[in-house]
């Protein structure tokens, strides 16, 4: 009798926790880089259509071998363009799903052109809070670059050019860093 009661209590209290953990694994995305792992918690409650599209692209292997083509010191790193130029995508534009979530350190959001409904496959991860992006970009969830990746993305300062500081996103060719995604996958 006591065993049945115990088994019932365990099932009642632990099964929802176990089921919740399994659901979280479906929404945890790993990008394996040479210098470490980027972990992204996808939040379908914030942007259901964008999260569904990212998951679809991951299952297709779309992000495997794609570079972080745009890395701006102390701001963000952007990936998701198969051409590596910043102008490519999967060919499917998504309607904006702007939300009230804040762009804190590690936030992952969809990149887009000027039109709000132009997000495709590219996304970026911010290195520090960026409130000027709030409600301007579809936020997918929090991400964690990992210590090694974060250090690699943020080290170094752009060089001076004729006494002037270069454009914010300009890095001299000799110092430009490109990070390639070895594999994008869900949690094991």
pLDDT digits over 139-187, tens only?
A: 998 876 554 444 454 443 333 333 434 344 433 333 344 556 656 665 5
Q: What is the CATH number of the domain that holds 73?
A: 2.40.100.10
Q: The tokens of 110 are what?
A: 């969809």
| Residue-range definition of the domain harbouring residue 104 | 2-165+177-186
Whether 110 is covered by a domain: the verdict is yes
Residue 78: beta bridge partners? 70, 124
Whether 35 is covered by a domain: the verdict is yes
Select from 62, 80, 61 the least CA-distant residue to 70. 80
Count of domains observed in the chain: 1
Give residue 49's pLDDT. 97
Whether 170 is covered by a domain: the verdict is no
Whether 112 is covered by a domain: the verdict is yes
Task: Please tell me what DSSP assigns to residue 94.
Answer: B
Whether 172 is covered by a domain: the verdict is no
Whether 19 is covered by a domain: the verdict is yes
The percentage of residues in the chain with a pLDDT greater than 90, rounded to a whole number, is 41
pLDDT mean over 66-84: 90
Whether 88 is covered by a domain: the verdict is yes
């Amino acid at each position: 009798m006591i065993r049945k009661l115990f088994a019932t209590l365990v099932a009642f209290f632990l099964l929802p926790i176990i089921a919740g953990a399994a659901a979280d694994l479906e929404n945890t995305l790993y990008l394996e880089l040479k210098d470490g792992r980027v972990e992204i918690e996808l939040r379908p409650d914030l942007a259901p259509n964008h999260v569904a599209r990212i998951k679809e692209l991951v299952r297709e292997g779309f992000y495997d071998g794609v570079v972080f083509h745009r890395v701006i010191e102390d701001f963000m790193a952007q990936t998701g363009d198969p051409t590596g130029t910043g102008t490519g995508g999967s060919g499917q534009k998504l309607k904006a799903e702007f939300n009230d979530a804040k762009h804190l350190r590690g936030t992952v959001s969809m990149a887009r052109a000027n039109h709000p409904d132009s997000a495709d496959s590219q996304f970026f991860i911010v290195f520090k809070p960026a409130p000027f992006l709030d409600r301007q970009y579809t936020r997918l969830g929090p991400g964690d670059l990992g210590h090694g990746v974060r250090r690699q993305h943020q080290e170094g300062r752009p060089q001076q050019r004729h006494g002037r500081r270069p454009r914010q996103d300009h890095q001299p060719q000799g110092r430009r860093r490109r990070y390639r995604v070895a594999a994008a996958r869900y949690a094991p």
